[in-house]
A and B are shown apart, each in its own frame.
Chain A
Amino acid sequence: MVDAEITEKRHWRFSLFFTKAGFLLVFLIISIIYSSFLGSVYIPVSSISNIYLRQIPFFGSFITAGYTATQYEIIVLVREPEILAAVIVGAALAIGGTSVQSVFRNPITEPYIIGISSGATLGAVIALASNTQLFGVYSVQVLAFIFSIVVVTGVYFLSFRTGRVPPVYLLLTGIAISLFISALVGLILFSNLRLQNEAFAWLLGSLSGVTWQELGLVSLLVAGSSIVLSTLWKELDALQMGEAHARSIGVNVERTKLLALLVTTVGVAAAVSISGLIGFVGLVIPHLARMIFGGSNRKVLPMSAILGGIFLLLSDDLARSVVHNEVLPVGIITGLIGVPFFMYMLSRISRGNYAA
């Protein structure tokens, strides 16, 4: 191939990527705007747009009319945090799934597998059972986060074998510890029937009632984790080819695994602390991103975050609108949509059609 031809081909691929990525971003923004119209209370478009304009710094001070105080509260205090939470949680789960699948070289893993979810559930259930106010109104969220980190740390150290952490041990230890902790959670719930309703909501995952305060901190943690993961794309690519190969091309394998798992856990645990257990996003979305953008994590990491945000936001829209005057836990929707979608992708992958 002549050089000009190669350059042209690269240029073409480059612009194709930006077209796809741009389309996704526009789609995300449209989804966000569309979602703010959904809810049990009808609010006219003009009011919503006025409320949005009102929130723009400086410029907003000129907008003083066009909506009622109740409408303002519903949009700003209820719908906006829930929409942003859906995008942030979806992004955290998806990018976490991409990272964990690369570390384990395993397409059927997701971030929960290393103990994030079981740890978070234990923390949440302990907070509910003890009725603790240790961290004020956010005790459930904070304990869920802390227990998540503690359990993953435990799994990591239990997996050490002669100075290394082989992925297989990490995976099996994660599964074993998760089962053990689920049994503990079962025990606490069994001995305290009062808890079962509250814990049930947590286990099904829900974004209702998220506040701006929680969202602020969580989005910082998720953004930090996503940025660090995105810088690790080469190392995560290399790990997919086996640790011996990764090391031979110069990757510090153990350090990469530790760093990737650490920041994944922080991001996903923060997301789970406000959403409860939302399944399938971390498993399915990375594969979807690979189908659209090819295998390299350079594109798959950031793009899975955007896709995850869109997917969870649309799922949450469905959860809020599928039954009149009732909000379903979004975890039910992701499961119901996620599984058939995953089966469809499996059939494509098995036909050798991984690349779209």
Chain B
Amino acid sequence: MLLELEKLNFHNGTFSIRDVTFSVPSGTILGIGGQNGSGKSTLLKLMYGFYRPHGGIVKLDGIPLTGLSPKEISRKIAVVNQEISDPFNFTVLDVVKLSGYSRLNDDITPENALETCGIPHLSGRIFSELSGGEKRLVTIAAAIYQDADMILMDEPTAFLDVDKEQTVREIIHNLRERGRTIVLVLHDINMLNSLCSHVVLLRNGGVVASGAKEDVLTLENLEKAYSVKFRVLEDAGPYKFAPAEKYFR
């Protein structure tokens, strides 16, 4: 399965996307990075057809998204959105089941999906009464239940405490091992570095660099994307990049 973006242009007042071209190779974990407001989430919403581009094209296995129905798209692409409204009086199980809307097969049950995310005990709880981190895990479980080849996640680890962040990392790696393609919007450079195999860096809605992680995450590209000088920390494990010293005050 291949998702291609060609010369994508879009603007909606606050955010714009300019001439964005890249493709998401099958079976990779691709990260989209950039400053706040650089258009990362907007780009994600273009990638599953929620927004219609004003120019350019998004193709799924060679077919333009505009030629596919929402149901057809959702069988191939699941999304974990950053913001999710609280439905009235829904249990966690209700929320997960809802993501089976377009499913054709019954390979995994909602209970399986919750178990994959380590939260089977939340099943009967009211969704709106959960903490932010628990809600995030539930929406990830819902995306897993949707059973699509590709999962787009908008800041999946934002606002999570350390152990839940680890859980999410585990889930992402497991999905990758099961042959899923993952696209992550991440503002954190070290997260991009430690989680992803491919990276796209955005600045003001345009692409600074895209490709394999090793080629994209250079000090030069990072400075271009974030307007901040970075340095490489030796032996710091996943925390490889830090702002150059003058930014610590």
Residues of A within 8 A of B (CB): 1, 6, 101-102, 105, 107, 162-163, 234, 237-238, 240-245, 247-253, 287, 290-291, 294-296, 352, 354-355
B side interface size, CB within 8 A: 39
For the complex, is B74 an interface residue (Cβ under 8 Å from A)?
Answer: yes
Can you identify 18 A-B contacts, CB atoms within 8 angstroms? A1-B111, A1-B120, A163-B52, A238-B101, A240-B90, A241-B95, A242-B81, A244-B83, A245-B85, A249-B98, A249-B101, A249-B102, A250-B102, A295-B87, A295-B88, A295-B89, A352-B129, A354-B89
A234 near B70 with CB under 8 A, answer no
For the complex, is B209 an interface residue (Cβ under 8 Å from A)?
Answer: no
User: Please, how many angstroms separate the alpha-carbon atoms of A105 and B84 in the complex?
Assistant: 11
Q: A49: shortest Cβ distance to chain B, in Å?
A: 41
- Which residues in A have their C-beta under 8 angstroms from that of B52? 163
A295 near B91 with CB under 8 A, answer yes
For the complex, is B14 an interface residue (Cβ under 8 Å from A)?
Answer: no
B85 near A240 with CB under 8 A, answer yes
A240 near B87 with CB under 8 A, answer yes
Q: Which residues, 39 to 98 on B, are CB-close (under 8 Å) to A?
A: 45, 48-50, 52, 69-75, 77-79, 81, 83-85, 87-91, 94-95, 98
The 4 closest A-B pairs by CB, nearest first: A250-B74, A250-B102, A295-B89, A248-B79
Q: A241-B85, A245-B81, A250-B102 are known contacts; what are 20 more A-B pairs with Cβ within 8 Å?
A: A1-B120, A237-B90, A237-B94, A238-B98, A242-B83, A244-B45, A247-B48, A248-B48, A248-B74, A248-B152, A249-B74, A249-B142, A250-B69, A250-B74, A250-B75, A290-B88, A290-B89, A295-B89, A296-B90, A352-B126
Q: Which residue of A lies closest to B152 (CB)?
A: A248
A247 near B98 with CB under 8 A, answer no
B71 near A244 with CB under 8 A, answer no
- Which residues in A have their C-beta under 8 angstroms from that of B50? 243-244, 247-248
Q: Which of B71, B77, B88, B120 sits near A354, CB closer than 8 Å? A: B88
For the complex, is B116 an interface residue (Cβ under 8 Å from A)?
Answer: no
Q: A167: shortest Cβ distance to chain B, in Å?
A: 10
Q: Which residues, 104 to 118 on B, are CB-close (under 8 Å) to A?
A: 111
Prevailing SS type, chain B contact patch: mixed
- Which residues in A have their C-beta under 8 angstroms from that of B139? 245
- Which residues in A have their C-beta under 8 angstroms from that of B69? 250, 252
For the complex, is B9 an interface residue (Cβ under 8 Å from A)?
Answer: no
- Which residues in A have their C-beta under 8 angstroms from that of B77? 248
Instruction: Given A240-B85, A241-B98, check contact A250 B73 (CB 8 Å).
Output: yes
- Which residues in B have their C-beta under 8 angstroms from that of A252? 69-71
- Which residues in A have their C-beta under 8 angstroms from that of B79? 244-245, 248
B89 near A237 with CB under 8 A, answer no
- Which residues in B have their C-beta under 8 angstroms from that of A354? 88-89, 126
Q: Which of A163, A242, A250 sits near B71, CB closer than 8 Å? A: A250
- Which residues in A have their C-beta under 8 angstroms from that of B87? 105, 237, 240-241, 295
- Which residues in B have their C-beta under 8 angstroms from that of A237? 87, 90, 94, 98
Q: B103: shortest Cβ distance to chain A, in Å?
A: 9
- Which residues in A have their C-beta under 8 angstroms from that of B71? 250, 252
Q: Which residue of B lies closest to A290 (CB)?
A: B89
- Which residues in A have their C-beta under 8 angstroms from that of B90? 237, 240, 294-296
Q: Which residue of B lies closest to A163 (CB)?
A: B52
Q: Which residue of B lies closest to A234 (CB)?
A: B101
User: Please, how many angstroms separate the alpha-carbon atoms of A355 and B126 in the complex?
Assistant: 8
- Which residues in B have their C-beta under 8 angstroms from that of A355? 89, 126
Q: B206: shortest Cβ distance to chain A, in Å?
A: 21
For the complex, is B210 an interface residue (Cβ under 8 Å from A)?
Answer: no
A250 near B94 with CB under 8 A, answer no
Q: A337: shortest Cβ distance to chain B, in Å?
A: 22
Instruction: Given A6-B111, A247-B50, check contact A101 B88 (CB 8 Å).
Output: yes
- Which residues in B have their C-beta under 8 angstroms from that of A240? 85, 87-88, 90
User: Please, how many angstroms separate the alpha-carbon atoms of A333 and B189 in the complex?
Assistant: 62
User: Please, how many angstroms separate the alpha-carbon atoms of A218 and B87 in the complex?
Assistant: 32
Instruction: Given A249-B146, A352-B129, check contact A294 B89 (CB 8 Å).
Output: yes
For the complex, is B227 an interface residue (Cβ under 8 Å from A)?
Answer: no
User: Please, how many angstroms separate the alpha-carbon atoms of A29 and B130 in the complex?
Assistant: 40
User: Please, how many angstroms separate the alpha-carbon atoms of A253 and B50 in the complex?
Assistant: 9
- Which residues in B have their C-beta under 8 angstroms from that of A253? 70
Instruction: Given A6-B111, A352-B129, check contact A248 B81 (CB 8 Å).
Output: yes
A295 near B111 with CB under 8 A, answer no
- Which residues in B have their C-beta under 8 angstroms from that of A248? 48, 50, 74, 77-79, 81, 152
- Which residues in A have their C-beta under 8 angstroms from that of B83? 242, 244
Q: Which residue of B lies closest to A1 (CB)?
A: B111
Instruction: Given A295-B88, A295-B89, A354-B88, check contact A234 B111 (CB 8 Å).
Output: no
Best-surrounded residue of A101, A240, A243, A354 (most CB of chain B within 10 A): A240
